[in-house]
Amino acid sequence: MSHFSARQDFTALVLGLLLTLASSAGAAQQPASSKAGPLDVEQLLRELGIADAIAQTDQIIAQSVAAIQPRVDAAAARQVHGTASLSSLSGLLSDSTGKEAIAAATSVYLAEHLPANVSEARSILDSALVIRARNFDVSLEMDGAFEKFVEFRTKLESQPAAEARVNLVRRLDTALFGSAIAAVLQTEIETTVETLAMRMAGSSLSTLSRADKLEQRQRHMAGIAADLHLFSYRFMQDRELEQYVELMEQNSIQQLLSVSLQGMQQALQASRAVVVDAVSPPLN
């Protein structure tokens, strides 16, 4: 695969993740009680966009395996031992790091760490303005939405959005943890596959730390997320969009998102330990 096609695949994945994070309008309009219960946790994760992001896990695993396998083969060729194909461990990866396992572990974590002000967050998520804002995201699920978004991004190159508008959508991405969720999900899964590959090959396959990868990826995704929000909310007036951003910046929403992201990341990291422990290192 050429560098250009690989970049296209990466960008397509980023867009897929961010589109998923932005497309939770249906869940947002479901009736909810003001007091969080066992069933509310899964609903909260859907409304926050985290559940749908986790649903991309199996696809990310497959893409990470395909990207790293050539490096595993090259490393093995320099060693006296051989190495098995990473694809042969797909079942193990799916069982421990697949979407069902990560979703379940994240739900448990959130249920055990619900912020005390979750009812306040619940009220904000059920407010008319938040539901109206999310209704704009419905267009992202329609046929041809991806192509229209690509055309929109191309147009931005010659006709940039107003600086004030750009600042608003950047604030929104930060408030929604959009690029952060996507970056953590992809980086942690890639790290799991790469760690597994290193164990199989008996040598290092990366020169960047996980923290460096996460920082670079989030920076890249934040730019795409800003363009995505410019596209998604292009028919919303500045003042109304600013009010929506301010609601998402409320402490109760931020705490709920932070705990949810922590739960997802912890689940991904715990699954990595399970996978790596299950694979024996090569014999030298």
pLDDT surpassing 70 at residue 150? yes
Q: Tell me the average pLDDT across 96-104.
A: 91
- Taking a C-beta distance cutoff of 8 angstroms, is the pair 168, 41 a contact? no
Largest CA distance in the chain: 65
72-92 pLDDT, tens digit each: 666 655 554 445 566 666 777
Give, as one character, the DSSP assignment of residue 233.
T
182-239 pLDDT, tens digit each: 999 999 998 988 888 777 766 555 666 888 889 998 998 898 889 989 998 998 999 9
pLDDT surpassing 80 at residue 181? yes
pLDDT surpassing 50 at residue 20? yes
Angle, vertex CA 72, rays to CA 195 and CA 5, nearest 5: 100
pTM of the model: 0.82
In the chain, % of residues over pLDDT 90: 44
CA atoms within 13 A on the CB side of 181: 34
Closest CA to 98 of 67, 128, 127, 55: 55
Q: Mind giving me the DSSP string for 89-136?
A: GHHHHHHHHSHHHHHHHHHHHHHHS--TTHHHHHHHHTSHHHHHHHHG
102-140 pLDDT, tens digit each: 999 999 999 999 999 999 999 999 999 998 887 776 666
